[in-house]
Amino acid sequence: MELLPPWSSFLLAAALFLVAVLLLQRRSSKHKLPPGPRPWPVIGNLNLIGPLPHRSLHELSARYGPLMSLRLGSFPAVVGSSADMARFFLKTHDLAFLDRPRLSGGRHIFYDFSDMLWAPYGAYWRQARKLLQAELLNATRLRDTEHVRDEEVRTAVCALQRAASASAAGAVVLNDHLAMVSLGVISRMALGKKYVVEGGGGGSPVPPEEFRWMVHELFFLGGVLGVGDFIPWVDWLDLQGYVKRMKKLRRMLDRFLDHVVDEHGERRRREGEGFVPRDMVDLLLQLADDPNLEVPIERDGIKALTLDLIAAGTDTSAVSVEWALSELLRNPEAMAKATEELDRVVGRDRFVVEADIPNLPFLEAIVKETMRLHPVAPLLAPRVSREDTSVDGHDIPAGTRVLVNVWAIGRDPALWGDDAEEFRPERLVGSGVDVKGHDMELLPFGAGRRMCPGIGLGLKMVQVTLANLLHAFAWRLPDGVAAEELSMEEKFGLSMPRAVPLVAVIEPKLPAHLYDEFR
């Protein structure tokens, strides 16, 4: 039998694809979908999504409404851009929208969806969520590791003081210092020691600059819009090169995580029955040996959950602190109020500790206001509807991808007034609105069953880091940079960092001996 020439095979595949598209469109016509732009063949509405998808979707929702229907390549999607729609997807009908799309990042980076973020809804995900919440990130464990956060923040303060002294103008670039705080905390809490330290050492198989690159790459690739994720029949082409980068990153992360797991396993074997878990990896290894687990946790599962902890505890808090300082440098009155509160409550003879935070309502309001305007995840991780549902007379068929635009909700004038675009912490002082998933107008950590389990750690990290930086230093912009000229452009990924790293001039305010304590 003679084989068809290659071009004939392509035409046949294209014809079959067009037939499938027509059948899908015919099927979708049975549903009364929410309003939305008319999709193009093959690409759907992907042509309308720019480099900052949360802004593109916000502009579209202003035209089509707070519940909008799109077609993203081969997949139907809806976007919720109001507190009411967030409540529908994340609270009242949470169970119907608990699944995740099977995207390239979850497959190639997170060990074939073995982590908690990208795992499909089911017994494995429920078990992982329970382990993280009840065993690894509970209130007792956070309380027991408070000294770790205090020490790492003070170490960063001293490092910043040295960096400013070494600069003729006293200027420092913040992001690397903030990243090292977060990395130090999560390394000690999750991995038991600082595997990544300046100058090498610590038993780390990678130098710190390489590890920081891996974290940045992880957050970038975790948020990219890969063509193959939306048009599966071209996935094998890897048109943007993202899959190749994901596989490279996975190999590098795998080498590091294998080192960590092997080192912890060796200590368990060495100590035998006298073994006592010291960190989160120890706990994961111990829990994985539990014969009563509903679903066994394999080695890849341990590495995937460890990667979740690293990802959740590094870039996210550093990004929030950098945005908070950026806003305060543009708003001198808010900066003055924050420093006055710190001086009054803490004094000038010590650093801030976590026990001080409840007595710093304006600082807490600054953190909330920062998360309102600059949520780390402007679009919550996408969900997939598990069953047919309807809302406000519109149908959402099973299999529809669901996006909640937290960035748009945080800037909604109907919720926040005509000054919704302005940084004004006063609006949240004494307010009952919180970030813990109960108030749909402020959702930096999401809500419902898929809410970020690391909210307790994340909040503590942002609050205590920001408080100490404001308390330890006087802040201003470099000479020649006016507050209104400070760039506030952002980059999109799994997190939303500044497009241009923040540079500021700092001057120590506390007694000199405090800055020498953690050299």
Residues comprising the binding site for heme? Answer: 452
Backbone φ and ψ for 420, nearest 5 degrees, come out as -60, -25
Strand partners, 70: 77
Please name the amino acid found at residue 451: M
Type of residue at 208: P
Q: Do 509 and 348 touch, CB atoms closer than 8 A?
A: yes
* Binding-site sequence positions: 452
First to last CA, the chain: 77
d(CA 140, CA 143): 5
Report H helices in 47-193: 53-64, 83-87, 104-108, 123-131, 139-144, 146-166, 174-186
Taking every pair of Cα atoms in the chain, the longest distance, rounded to a whole number of angstroms, is 88
Query: Over the range 315-334, which residues count as b (16 or more CB within 10 Å of their CB) and which as e?
Result: bbbbbbbbbbbbbbbbbeeb
Other beta carbons within 10 angstroms of residue 5's beta carbon come to 9
Cα 192 off chain centre by: 23
What whole-number distance in Å separates Cα of residue 88 and Cα of residue 474?
Answer: 44
Contact, 385 vs 404, CB < 8 A? Answer: no
Task: State the Cα angle at 273 between 270 and 275, rounded to 5°.
Answer: 65
Distance set, CA 410 to CA 377, 454, 505 (Å)? 12, 21, 30
The three-point CA angle 149-357-439 to 5° equals: 105
Distance of CA 363 to the CA centre of its chain: 22
The token duo for 79 is 């976007």
Per DSSP bridges, beta strands 401-404 and 383-384 are antiparallel
CB contact set of 157 (below 8 Å; sequence gap of 6+): 351, 468, 469, 472, 473, 515, 518
**H-run or E-run covering 384:** strand 383-384
Task: Give the residue from 150, 198, 146, 204 showing the smallest Cα distance to 176.
Answer: 198
Region of 131 (left: φ > 0; alpha: ψ -120 to 50; beta: rest) is alpha
SS3 78: strand
DSSP run (H or E) holding 24: helix 6-28
